[in-house]
């Protein structure tokens, strides 16, 4: 059996990969840091060009993202298309399973797949989500719900009653309170022990441990419409609540939801405004990791939107007063790899070219989430 030696090596390698930190082979004797808290940040549609454009706009003044200690790349394709939508890629990032475009927390056979947020809850961790679009929109939906289509937003809202998520903040009042079945899910959540609030001030003055914030009927306002510092402030508040809620740590997903919209509209001003806002939240998360050892922050995108590039002098688009030239190649998503920025405990595990589905698997392994 000529291949025996190689088979053994392959088996050992697989064992090593799937037991990171517990592999005592010849070379890898390193002990993996214990991850207690996970902050998973998703810039919807945030490709490398979006980050580069934002950096150029700032005259190369570094973004918080540049504090990342390890950088990787993620392949974003879905099970049925090399260009994913936010539902399939969200499901990949939440469950580690590739599925069809439009799917929310279900596999290609439309069977529910447990998400990292659900598993974290089952493992005694506190959990939360903070977004700028509706909390029922595709990306957050994939972490909490299991439905065959992202369009089923009223059904998705009901999943907030089916889990023990500690904190959720974003838009989406209409899916909780103006429903076709006349239920008022906000009332039902309050009966379950949540405080449901409708303003940023009420978020900031909150002092309990179960909070739902619904700040708009559907999407929240864009940065250009005066959203202000909601995302970094809400992220900071969510971290405070989650840290207090469990000795066993937490899982928090934060989404810069509207970078994607800038890409779809081929609106570079919106891309940059929304990326700067998301980056402020990244700074909050990195600062938290600095002060709380055992915290892992992973920042990535679900896909790129707009096919943005930064050509020299090509007048497709000139940002007012900046003289930066832009070219968008599509009003949709693209299949280009997206960046991964990792910070804190276990960050070195993301310095690779990964399938998007690898990301939750690695996080679960590092934090011993089962």
Tell me which residues are annotated as active site. 86
Q: How many residues does the chain have?
A: 370
Residue with smaller CB distance to Zn ion, 78 or 246: 78
> How many chain residues bind Mg ion (CB under 5 A)?
4
Tell me the residue nearest to Zn ion as measured from the CB. 260
The interface partner of residue 273, options being Mg ion, Zn ion, none and the CB cut-off 5 to 8 Å by kind, is none
Residue with smaller CB distance to Mg ion, 125 or 222: 222
Binding mask 10-49 for Mg ion (x = CB under 5 A): ----------------------------------x-----
Q: How far is the CB of 45 from Zn ion (least distance, A)?
A: 5
Q: How far is CA 48 from the centre of its chain?
A: 16
Helices (H), the chain: 4-17, 48-57, 86-95, 116-122, 138-144, 153-162, 173-177, 185-191, 200-204, 230-245, 259-264, 268-291, 358-367
Q: Calculate the dihedral angle through the C-alpha atoms of 86, 90, 93, 95, rounding to the nearest 10 degrees.
A: -150
The interface partner of residue 277, options being Zn ion, Mg ion, none and the CB cut-off 5 to 8 Å by kind, is none
Binding mask 235-274 for Mg ion (x = CB under 5 A): ----------------------x-----------------
- Residues numbered 242 to 281 that lie near Zn ion (CB under 5 A) are 260
Binding mask 60-99 for Mg ion (x = CB under 5 A): --------------------------x-------------
- CA–CA distance, 211 with 337 (Å, rounded to integer): 35
Residue with smaller CB distance to Zn ion, 46 or 354: 46
Q: Does 134 bind Mg ion (CB under 5 A)?
A: no
How far apart, in Å, do the first and last CA atoms of the chain sit?
Answer: 37
Q: Which two tokens stand for residue 251?
A: 């899982």
The interface partner of residue 257, options being Mg ion, Zn ion, none and the CB cut-off 5 to 8 Å by kind, is Mg ion
| Residue in the structure block whose two tokens are 């995302």 | 231
Q: Does 139 bind Mg ion (CB under 5 A)?
A: yes
Phi and psi at residue 38, in whole multiples of 5°?
-120, 125
C-alpha torsion sign, points 256, 262, 340, 77:
positive
Residue with smaller CB distance to Zn ion, 145 or 259: 259
CB-side neighbour CA atoms (13 Å) of 235 = 28
Q: What interhelical angle do 268-291 and 230-245 show, nearest 10?
A: 30
Residue with smaller CB distance to Zn ion, 235 or 305: 305
Task: Catalog residues that contact Zn ion under the rule CB under 5 A.
Answer: 260
Task: Catalog residues that contact Mg ion under the rule CB under 5 A.
Answer: 44, 86, 139, 257
């Amino acid at each position: 059996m000529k291949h025996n030696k190689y088979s053994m090596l392959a088996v050992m390698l697989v064992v090593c990969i799937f037991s990171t930190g517990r592999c005592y082979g010849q070379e890898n004797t390193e002990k993996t840091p214990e991850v207690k808290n996970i902050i998973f940040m998703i810039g919807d549609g945030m490709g490398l060009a979006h980050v580069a454009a934002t950096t150029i706009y700032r005259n190369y003044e570094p973004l918080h993202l540049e504090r990342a200690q390890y950088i990787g790349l993620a392949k974003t394709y879905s099970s049925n298309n090399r260009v994913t939508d936010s539902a399939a890629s969200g499901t990949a990032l939440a469950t580690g399973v590739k599925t069809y475009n439009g799917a929310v927390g279900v596999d290609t056979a439309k069977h529910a797949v447990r998400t990292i947020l659900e598993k974290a809850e089952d493992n005694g961790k506190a959990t939360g989500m903070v977004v700028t679009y509706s909390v029922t929109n595709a990306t957050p939906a994939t972490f909490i719900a299991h439905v065959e289509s992202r369009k089923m937003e009223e059904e998705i809202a009901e999943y907030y009653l089916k889990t023990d998520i500690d904190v959720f903040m974003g838009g989406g009042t209409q899916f909780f309170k103006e429903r076709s079945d006349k239920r008022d899910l906000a009332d039902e959540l309050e009966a379950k022990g949540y405080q449901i609030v409708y303003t940023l001030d009420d978020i900031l003055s909150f002092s309990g441990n179960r909070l739902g914030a619904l700040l708009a009927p559907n999407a929240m306002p864009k940065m250009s419409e005066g959203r202000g510092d909601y995302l970094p402030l809400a992220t900071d508040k969510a971290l405070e609540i989650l840290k207090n809620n469990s000795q066993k740590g937490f899982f928090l997903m934060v989404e810069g939801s509207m970078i994607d919209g800038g890409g779809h509209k081929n609106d570079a001003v919106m891309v940059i405004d929304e990326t700067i806002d998301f980056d402020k939240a990244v700074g909050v998360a990195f600062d938290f990791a600095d002060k709380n050892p055992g915290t892992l922050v992973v920042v990535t995108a679900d896909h790129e939107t707009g096919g943005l590039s930064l050509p020299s002098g090509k007048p497709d688009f000139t940002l007012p007063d900046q003289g930066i030239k832009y070219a968008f190649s599509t009003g949709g998503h693209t299949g280009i790899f997206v960046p991964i920025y990792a910070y804190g405990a276990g960050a070195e595990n993301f310095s690779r070219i990964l399938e998007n589905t690898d990301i939750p698997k690695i996080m679960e392994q590092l934090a011993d989430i089962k």
